[in-house]
Amino acid sequence: MKVAVVGQGYVGLPLAIAAAESGYEVVGIDTNESLVATLSKGISPIGDISDTEVAKVISSNKYTATTDFSEISTAEIVVVCVPTPLDSDRRPDLSFVESAFKEIAKHLSDGALVINESTVAPGTTRSLIARILETSGKSFDLAYSPERIDPANKTWNVRNTPKLVAGLTDKATERAMKFYGAFVETLTPGTSIEVIETAKLLENSFRLINISFINEIAQFCNTLGIDAREVIEAAATKPYGFMPFYPSAGVGGHCIPVDPMYLADKAMEIGTPSKFIELAAEVNQGLPQYFTKIASNLIGGLADKKILLVGVAYKPGVADTRESPAIDLIKVLRESGAFVSWHDDLVVHWNNENSTAISDQYDLAILVNPHPHCDLTLLGQTPVLNTRGGN
């Protein structure tokens, strides 16, 4: 059975490799020619998938990468894993989703199963995606199964992370369950696509709200002169009713700062409140100003001071800078007159700048998302502001 996976990034590639390893004939489709060329050489562009894994499925003729959407015409299953970011007004941007499904509609084979894994607001799969696919003039089954990828997580992956599945019809649900059942250990069907669309948004809205709350608690602890992480770890000894979250310079990545805005936007559309989400977003958007003020107090002002920011990726252990809290923090620091350099040996090149070596030649070092292998001893006696809490 041939499967086309549209989008070969942090979500699509692990899915494509897992499907290929389970026996499906998989074609990975992406509009990024450079990415496709890299994959075709057996080289993985992401840390969670090794070069060996890519090369193995290529050599076994179970996986190919291409920019050619016409490959969909011979695929019995099409899975879409494309970005769903926010626009400049922090509203849902469905341009990648619309573009992908319009291309799919041009080449869809009769009776194909189409699965969307990209995050969308409740009702989007039924109203927007189904409508686009109907322009193909072909019969199809449509399902939604949101991605649950956590880059650099060594414990949870495509195979062992429980997966939610729902189709527009019982038949679509059954077909999607059978597809994923070949390589995913635990599957949970939903009674409707809207239930699963909402569940996906709830997962990350829950995280945004709790991280925002902890970031406020961290500010409280800082004012008291106590260690926020020690407070959290003490509370976490309670065996029920508490889940530890940890402070940061702000939320980042492709999910936590984005998905809740899809839920808030839908809430606005149907006239229901989303005050917790709006307040949580406000708290996190204020963190660059907060840490800039702390930095200024630590070294007696920021004008003409040399600052090294460590870790511009959105989380330790990955090279992804999407929605990274470092972006706005660097901007505010520079607006305050500081000369800001950054170190991140996984990102290396970002924002037309290059990573700078860690050294003791700075007035202040700010730890945003240092990678596990960072040698912070190279800072010497440089004052350190740890946005993640702790000493």
**Token pair in block for residue 8:** 């070969």
Cβ atoms of residues 358 and 379 within 8 Å: yes
- CA 184, 187, 192, 198 dihedral sign is negative
Cβ atoms of residues 255 and 119 within 8 Å: yes
Q: What angle do CA 42, 45, 49 make, to 5 degrees?
A: 75
Q: What angle do CA 256, 207, 373 make, to 5 degrees?
A: 70
Residues 6+ apart with CB under 8 A from 7: 29, 30, 80, 81, 82, 83, 100, 118
**Token pair in block for residue 63:** 């996986």
Cβ atoms of residues 223 and 198 within 8 Å: no
Give CA–CA dist 132/127, Å, rounded.
9
How many other C-beta atoms lie within 10 A of the C-beta of residue 354? 12
Residues 6+ apart with CB under 8 A from 295: 302, 307, 333, 338, 364, 366, 385
Give CA–CA dist 29/13, Å, rounded.
10
Q: Which position among 81, 221, 255, 374 bears the catalytic label?
A: 255
The answer to whether residue 374 is catalytic is no
Q: Kind and range of the H or E element at 170?
A: helix 170-181
Give CA–CA dist 2/76, Å, rounded.
6
Residues forming the active site? 255
